[in-house]
Amino acid sequence: MSSYLQTSIEYLKGVGPARAELLKKELQIFTFNDLLFHLPYRHVDRSKIYKVNELRAEMPYVQVKGIVSNLRLIGKNRAQRLVADLRDETGVMELVWFQGIKWVRESVLPGKIYLAFGKPAAFSGTINIAHPTLDDADEAAVKKYLHIMPMYNVTEKMKARGLDSRAIMKMMNLLLADPKLEIPENLPEPILVQNKLVQRHWALLQIHFPKDDKSLAAATFRLKFEEFFFIQLKLLRFKVRREQLHNGIELKTIGEYFNTFFKYNLPFELTNAQKRVLKEIRHDVKTGIQMNRLVQGDVGSGKTVVALMTMLMAIDNGYQSCMMAPTEILAGQHYETIVGMLRDMPVKVRLLRGSTLTKERKVILKELLEGEIHILIGTHALIEEVVQFKNLGLAIIDEQHRFGVEQRARLWKKNVKPPHVLVMTATPIPRTLAMTLYGDLDTSLIDELPAGRKPIQTILRYDTHRLSVNGLMKQEIKKGRQIYIVYPLIAESEKLDYKNLVDGYEQMCRDFPEPEYQVCILHGKMKADEKTREMTRFMKGQAQIMVATTVIEVGVNVPNATVMIIESAQKFGLSQLHQLRGRVGRGGDQSFCVLMADVKLSNDAKQRLNTMVETNDGFKIAEADLKLRGPGDLEGTVQSGILDLRIGDLSKDAPIVALARLNAQDILRQDPNLQHPNHLALSQYFEAYQRTAKWGRIS
Ligand code: ADP
Ligand code: MG
């Protein structure tokens, strides 16, 4: 930690209290170090001077040199603008200002040679640059600006007070030229050598003011590596600690409960993937080390039964289990499924959720503490302080992406010895993202669907095809099948979305009239008991059509449903569409997913919908999603601060993530507690890193 880097930003030359205030408020730049890590979002090449006749409107930022003359005001009132000619030996172009006209008129000298820099555009056949940056074109000045120039993000407020990208660049220049500035290396020498990484100080110099493209690439690689390396070190260190503690619960035996279930109750043959994952879990829970395992399996791959059988292992060894689901409906459904599967086995299962009545809740809490209840199923309600177990041995979290890491940790505290934790996610996440989000967990993969499933047929239909879609619906209902119709619900247009949903419901009631047809409806604004009633109607087959919002997205299991119609499908993200589609195709019958879309689709939406039509493979879809949307938008990742990356990009940097992880693993293998003298700088940096939320806040 270098104290000079921690110097408050107002002590930088040219900053002062007012600008410092702005930097703190707008960009959270408090210290020299923070400024250093305000990295350019891109660079523009100012090493080249273009000729006027070379300019094209499609070009990015360019620089031209010529005589500026003929300043004139054009237009009236709000349309008023200042225009000037710029002439070189090849032709004439225009410079245009819409704002700050007075200032430009006062400071620009007609007849003088300037360097103009900006984005070219074409207006009625003439090339122009709006709001160019103008510099004196005398020899010395030209030299100063001939390099690859950094561009920095600034806010509108900052711009309004003259603190623009260029001003930041000047500050950065001053700071980096400061002889007192010293940026210590935080990676051990062998890592630098093996991975051909440049020194940290040099990397920071070059990321702002690169000599050339090669230096910029080297600096970028180094800083990305560093960012991913410390994330991985943190996750893996966490894992090492856990393994060192060796204070997990030992589930030694497979006993009565597990065996009885396996012999008499299991309604189907397990898939090989399910068997393998159960073995992996079994291997973990008997070691005495706390298990932290992620089970990934596409929708419909049969995670619930794996969860149940793991819970039976806990019961066999005298421990309680709990299973947490993200919604009331899903928790209720898990409860039904599990009670159903256990049939007449003497296992006491209870359901606890927000809507559980106080009286019942009291009984549950008491029986939980006394150890009478074997399995508790519920929602977030499970992690509340008041929920105390006698001896919790296993906690299962279904659809983890809806829960924060924080909540996961709270479950550990439900027993003196931390319970084993099994996280199950149905949203396949790309490997890079999995490594970053769940890098501290061991992973298991259920990469096989139960036999006899027919792949779901996905079709794209435009609103004009509604009649033929109704035809498909009638045909399926005739066969005794059921249908979901899902409407989007987007916060910004909630009112309109609800209207669409209700209109759609009414239309369905008209097109599919009682008593032949029964239509039910489900959305987030309904009361819990109404929701349960409607859901039950559908689950019992009393209604053939369910009109709903995405409340049904996660985990709902009605094997008799064979058609999923998604309205305004273009408004959904890929992984959400895949989740929704996973609600059908759960029985032996051919199922269909109909994507209803507007005729006018953006390219992006077209790509998404076509991906859905082309593949049923959740992992391919997840990769496509990451490419199309970037990780920031992936569901459930937003709240996880870990994805707050400064320079790394999970959709592009998979190889660097893997490399960083390997290196972090190596270091911890040699030196699990980071105590080796060669790792002093590393461990000091790492300690500070762990204390702060953001990389770069430390030095
Ligand atoms: P998910 O992985 O999406 O949570 P579920 O656990 O809900 O999937 O299982 C989907 C359906 O497949 C359920 O109806 C379940 O009973 C059934 N199922 C699970 N495993 C098998 C299997 N090995 N063979 C046949 N059906 C299975
Ligand atoms: Mg499930």
Task: Give 333-356 pLDDT, tens digit per residue.
Answer: 899 999 999 999 999 999 999 889
Please give the share of the chain, as a percent, with pLDDT higher than 90: 55
Q: Which residue's structure tokens are 């007012």?
A: 18
Ligand 1 atom closest to 452 (CA): 25
CA of 329 to the centre of ligand 2 (A): 12
Q: At what angle do helices 618-629 and 603-614 cross, to 10 degrees?
A: 170
Mean pLDDT of 270-281: 97
- Rounded-to-integer distance, Cα 289 and Cα 238, Å: 13
Q: Residue 413 has what pLDDT?
A: 80
Nearest to 176 by CA among 28, 38, 29, 16: 38
Q: Which residue has the tokens 């985990």?
A: 555
Ligand 1 centre and the CA of 303: distance in Å?
7
Query: Which runs of consecutive H residues, i.e. helices, occur in 163-199?
Result: 165-177, 189-194
Higher pLDDT, residue 529 or 376: 376
State yes or no: pLDDT of 665 exceeds 60: yes
Say which ligand is closest to the CA of 581.
1
Ligand 1 atom with the smallest distance to the CA of 559 is 14
- The model's pTM is 0.71
**pLDDT-based confidence at residue 406 (cuts at 50, 70, 90):** low
Atom 18 of ligand 1, nearest CA residue: 302
Q: What pLDDT, on a 0 to 100 scale, did the predictor assign at position 634? A: 46
Angle between helices 574-581 and 603-614 (to 10 degrees): 30
- Spatial distance between the Cα atoms of 47 and 147, rounded to a whole number of angstroms: 5
Q: What is the mean predicted confidence (pLDDT) over 524-528?
A: 84
Using pLDDT thresholds of 50, 70 and 90, give the confidence band for residue 428.
low
Q: Name every protein residue with a CB atom under 6 angstroms from any ligand 1 atom.
A: 268-271, 274, 297, 299-305, 426, 450, 555, 557, 559, 586
Beta bridge partners of 444: 295
How many CB atoms are located within 10 Å of the residue 61 CB? Answer: 18
Q: How far is the CA of 341 from the centre of ligand 1 (A)?
A: 12
Residue whose structure tokens are 């400071």: 107
Residues 483-487: what's their mean pLDDT?
A: 95
Atom of ligand 1 nearest to the CA of 587: 14
**Helix, strand, or coil here: 599?**
coil
Distance CA 606, CA 604 (A): 5
- Give the residue-averaged pLDDT of 123-130: 89
Ligand (nearest to CA of 557): 1
The mean pLDDT of 507-532, rounded to a whole number, is 90
Structure confidence by residue, pLDDT tens digits, 222-254: 999 999 999 899 889 888 887 887 788 999 999
Cα 302 to middle of ligand 1, angstroms = 3
Is the pLDDT at 10 greater than 50? The verdict is: yes
Ligand nearest to the CA of 298: 1
Residue 576: band (very low, low, confident or very high) from pLDDT cuts 50, 70, 90: confident
- Report the sign of the C-alpha dihedral through residues 468, 474, 480, 482, in that order: positive
| Ligand 1 center from residue 412 Cα (angstroms) | 28
* CA of 557 relative to ligand 1 center, distance in Å: 9
In the predicted model, is pLDDT for residue 411 greater than 90?
no
Cβ distance 365 to 390 under 8 Å?
no
Report the side by side order of strands in the sheet with 442-446. 349-352, 375-378, 320-324, 392-398, 420-425, 292-297, 442-446
Secondary structure of 210-276 as H, E, C letters = CCCHHHHHHHHHHHHHHHHHHHHHHHHHHHHHHHHHCCCCCCCCCCHHHHHHHHHHCCCCCCHHHHH
Residue with more model confidence, 50 or 99? 50
Q: What is the mean pLDDT of residues 122-141?
A: 84
How far CA 560 is from CA of 508, 583, 682, in Å, comes to 20, 10, 57
Tell which residue, 323, 321, 325, has the closest CA to residue 392.
Answer: 321
Confidence bin at 378 (pLDDT 50/70/90): very high
Q: Cα(405)–Cα(349) distance, rounded to whole angstroms?
A: 26
Mutate to test the pocket of ligand 1, among 269, 304, 335, 341 (most ligand atoms within 8 A of CB): 304
Q: How confident is the model at residue 698 (pLDDT cuts 50, 70, 90)?
A: very low
The yes-or-no verdict on residue 492 having pLDDT over 80 is no
Of the listed ligands, the closest to the CA of 340 is 1
- Using the predicted structure, report yes or no on whether residue 179 has a pLDDT greater than 50: yes
Instruction: Name the 3-class secondary structure at 282.
Output: helix
CA of residue 414 to ligand 1 center, whole Å: 30
Average pLDDT, the chain: 88
Task: Say yes or no to pLDDT of 695 above 50.
Answer: no
* β-strands 113-118, 133-136 pairing: antiparallel
- 188-196: long-range contacts, CB 8 A cutoff, minimum separation 24: 188/667, 188/678, 188/679, 188/681, 188/682, 189/678, 191/229, 191/663, 191/667, 194/663, 195/225, 195/659, 195/663
Q: Take atom 26 of ligand 1 and give the residue whose Cα is closest.
A: 450
| The pLDDT of residue 638 is above 60 | no
pLDDT value at residue 493: 76
Rounded to the nearest 10 degrees, the angle between the axes of helix 213-245 and helix 654-670 is 50
CA of 449 to the centre of ligand 1 (A): 8
pLDDT on residue 697: 45
In whole angstroms, give the CA distance from residue 623 to residue 428.
9
Residues 6+ apart with CB under 8 A from 237: 668, 674, 686
Ligand 1 atom closest to Cα of 297? 2
- For the CA of 301, the nearest atom of ligand 1: 2
Q: Which H helix or E strand runs over 607?
A: helix 603-614
Taken in order of first residue, the domains within the chain and their CATH numbers are 1-46+165-182 (no CATH), 48-146 (2.40.50.140), 256-285+302-425 (3.40.50.300), 457-615 (3.40.50.300)
Higher pLDDT, 152 or 248: 152
Q: What is the pLDDT of residue 589?
A: 87
> Which carries the bigger pLDDT value, residue 407 or residue 360?
360
> Given the CA of residue 557, which atom of ligand 1 is nearest to it?
7
